[in-house]
Amino acid sequence: MRVLAIDPGTLRMGYAVLDAEPAPEADDYGVVPMRREMPIEQRLYQLHTHILNMIHVFQPDAIAVEDPFVGREERAFAKSALAIGQAQAVVLIGAASQGIPVHRYKPADVKMAVADYGRATKEQVQQIAASRLGITHKLESDAADALAVGLCHLQRVQADDLASREISPGKEL
């Protein structure tokens, strides 16, 4: 299984391409930067083009994308969540146009899958993701986030596969 993982953003979109077998491995990762002075519709169009190019080049079996974090009360991030949601929509449209299934993960789910703790810091998750993939150099934050989303997806697929093999009373072998 090959997954294209995306950490969406309208100024910086992190991406990672991970293969599951024999152990999770990062084939490619990085950041697609956008110029702040570029109008939002142009940035979204550029992101759409990048997503379609990545799909064409990497031929993923699935796309995993992180959902925006909205927050609550005084920690509400409505403006940034809206921008991330717009970038996420570009990913969803690109995947749908190519018939590739999309899997969305909440930030807490990514933290839980990678760090075994849903309230781990962003830095802890990034360090653990890099370590699990054998990456020893400093990663850009958005690329590290995309790697974590990809690991979360591969772990979820593996867990679902194991659950489907469970032997239960009345189930034929």
Calculated CA dihedral for residues 54, 110, 100, 2, nearest 10 degrees: 60
Q: Is 58 helix (H, G, I), strand (E, B) or coil?
A: helix
Q: In the chain, which ranges are continuous DSSP H helix?
A: 40-58, 78-97, 107-115, 122-132, 141-164
Which residues are annotated as catalytic? 7, 66, 142
* Beta carbons within 10 angstroms of residue 11's beta carbon: 15
Compute the distance between CA of residue 102 and CA of residue 74 in angstroms, rounded to an integer. 32
Q: Give the residue from 158, 110, 109, 154 showing the smallest Cα distance to 4.
A: 154
Contact between residue 105 and residue 149 where contact means Cβ atoms under 8 Å apart = yes
3-state secondary structure of 54: helix
Cα–Cα distance, 54 to 73 (Å, whole number): 37
